[in-house]
Amino acid sequence: MDPYLKKYEKDFKRRYELLQKQLFQLEEAEGGIDLFTRSYRIFGVQRRPDNSLFFKEWAPAAEALFLTGDFNGWDKFSHPYSKTEFGKWELILPPKYDKSPAVDHNTKLKVVVHTKEGQRLYRISPWAKYVTREEKSVIYDWIHWDPPQPYIQIHPRPKKPTSLRIYEAHVGIASPEGKIASYTNFTINVLPRIKDLGYNCIQLMAIMEHAYYASFGYQITSFFAASSRYGTPDELKQMIDVAHSMGILVLLDVVHSHASKNTEDGLNRFDGSDSCFFHSPPRGEHSQWGSRLFNYSSWEVLRFLLSNLRWWMEEYCFDGFRFDGITSMLYHHHGIGKAFFTGDYSEYFGLQVDEDSVVYLMLANHILHTFYPDCITVAEDVSGMPAVCRGVQEGGLGFDYRLAMAIPDKWIQILKELKDEDWDIGNIVYTLTNRRYGEKCIAYAESHDQALVGDKTLAFWLMDKEMYTNMSFLSPMTPIIDRGLQLHKMIRLLTHGLGGEGYLNFMGNEFGHPEWLDFPREGNNHSYHYARRQFNLVDMDHLRYCQLYAFDRDMNRTEDKYGWLAAPPAFVSAKHEEDKVIVFDRANVLFIFNFHHIKSFQDYRVAVELPGKYKIKLDSDEFQYGGHGRLDHNTEFFTEAQPFNGLVLQNVME
C-alpha cells in the first residue's frame, strides 16, 4: 500500500516480533493472557465467598506494609501484610463474628508503607475502585466499595456502527449551573439531547479519578476509580446502561501516557522509591506536563495498565477507548521541541522511537480486539506515524481510528489570520483530504482543545461579543451574526463530509456555544462561570442557538441516511479559488459549498459521478437553520452527459 515504507520493513518486523515474544511470555508465565489482564480480581481488595477479604499489592522497594482504616480504629501496626515473591505483599482479613466482611462498605482504608530508609508513608492502593475527598481536605481517601446490591447493567452493547458520529463530553460541566454536574444529571438531561442530535457514540472525558479538577481529567491519580466528584460507580454504570438502551456507544478517554505526580493519593512513589510503576528520573518525568512516565517494559506495569483497560470494559461496559497523548508515548523526545512533524518517514523510525511504548500499544489493541471484537480504539497522535491504524499483524499499532488533528488547527488559523476573500480553497481541501490511505480518521472542526482558556470556540471566533447582544430573533440579524451563523454550519458540514471516516463534536459546540472553557482555579477565584455548558441557550426559542442545533441534528441524520462516513474518500470535482466554490461526491451524495463572501451563483455547472435526477436534501440556507431561504427545494436538477474532468455533468443553481 505504501512503497515508501519498504526501507523500514525491518522496523515493522522487529516490532511484531517483540509483540509475539511478549504474548508468548504472558501465556507461559501467568496462566494465560485472560487471567493476567484481569488482575483486578487479585490485586487491591477482594471479597471471597466466605466473606474474608484478601488484600494484595506490588511494592518492591518497601520494607513492610500494613493496612489501617476505620475497621481497626486506624491502628497502624495491627494488620501487617506478608511479603511474597517479586515484591508482592498479601494480607487476609477473616470475617467478623457475624460472618460479615471485616471492612464495611463505604469505609476508609489506607496502606501504610515502611521504607528501607525508615519512613512511614500513607498510600492509597493503586487498584482502589473508589476514592473520595472530604470538602475541606486536599487529599483523596480510599473508600472500600462493596455495595450489598450493586447496579446490574441490563442493556447489551449496541452494534458497532459503520459511521461513527462522536459526541465528546465532560460530565462535570454538562449543566448550565455553576457547579460540578453529576452522572445522574447527564443521564436525565444530556443523553436525550445526544440521541436527538443523531450522535451514536459518546467520548467521555475526565472519568478516571484525578485529584485536580482543572487538569481536565488528564492528571490521573486513581486509575481504577471512576471520579467520585460526579457521583458513585453505580450511577456511572446506570448512565452507560441508559446510553446503550438508546443505541449509543460510550468510549472512555483513557490516559496511559502519564500519571499525576501526587504521592499521598496517586501512584507516584507508592513504595517510597522514585521508580516502581515509572522509569526513574529523568526518563520517568515529563518536563512540560509535570507528571510521571510509565515503564512499559515492566511486567507489573503491563499487568496494571492492561488490567485497567479490561476493568473499564468489564465492570462498566465501556465500548472502547480514546487513547490520550500517545505522541508522548511513541517518542523518547515526547514531541517536546518539535513545533510540528514534517511527515518525513525517518521521523517515525529509529532511535527516537520508544519501542517499549509501541509494543505496549500494540499489545493493548491486540488484547482489546481479541476479547471484544467490536471494541473501538481511537489514537490521539499529532505526529502522523504511519500504520497507527493498521492491524498489529501488519506491524501496525492496531487502532481503529486516529484523530485528524490538523483540521481544527486549520480552521482556527483561517479565522484568526485571513479575511474571507483570502481563503485558500485548495489548501482547505488539501487539509481535509490529506490522510493516509487505509487508515481511518475522525474529523472535527473543534474539540475541547480549541475551547480551552487562551483560545475560544469557533462560534466566538466568528461572532465574538455580538453573541451577547445580537443572537435574538427579536432584533435584526447583523452582518457579523449572519456571517458567523452561515460559516459555523458550512465549516461543520464540509468537515463532516470531506474530512474523515468518523466525525466528532465537543459538547455544546453543536449549537455555537459562546466563550471558552476555564475550570475553577486560583487564577479565576475558583469560578465555575466558564466550566459549564449553557444548554439553556438552545431551549430559549427566541435565540438563534436553536437554529445551529437544528442544523447539526439534521446534518447527522442526513449522514445516518446516506452513510458518507462509511464510504470511500470523496471525489473532489471543483475547488475554485476565484468563485470560492468546493464541489465533491461521496456516497452518491453531491456536496456543493459557496464560500464567496459576496457572490451567489445561478446556473452553475458542476460534475457528478452518477447521471440522473438530483434533489436538495440538506440546505444550510434554510430559514429554520438561520439562513435566507434562497433555494427552491421543489427544483429538480438533471444531469447532461458532457465531458468535464472525465465525469457526467449536472446543471444546478446555487
Q: Which long-range contacts (CB under 8 A, 24 or more apart) does 22-28 make?
A: 22/302, 22/359, 22/363, 23/363, 23/366, 26/302
Beta-strand pair 120-123/376-379? unpaired
The Cα–Cα gap between 326 and 329 comes to: 5
Cα angle at 612 between 601 and 647, to 5 degrees? Answer: 70
The Cα–Cα gap between 285 and 335 comes to: 14
**32 to 35, 60, 313: CA distances (angstroms):** 6, 24, 19
C-alpha cell, 451: 475551547
The Cα–Cα gap between 466 and 158 comes to: 42
Catalytic residue among 271, 380, 518, 552: 380
Q: Which of 450, 418, 583, 612 is nearest to 516 (CA)?
A: 450
Active-site annotation holds for 541: no
Catalytic residue among 324, 400, 449, 510: 324
Residue type, 30: E
Q: Which of 564, 566, 561 is nearest to 586 (CA)?
A: 564
Active-site annotation holds for 654: no
Backbone angles phi, psi at 323, to 5 degrees: -85, 115
Reduced to 3 DSSP states, what percent helix, strand and coil does the chain have, rounded to the nearest 5? Answer: 35, 20, 45
C-alpha cell, 183: 452522572
C-alpha cell, 278: 515509572
Catalytic residue ranges:
324, 380
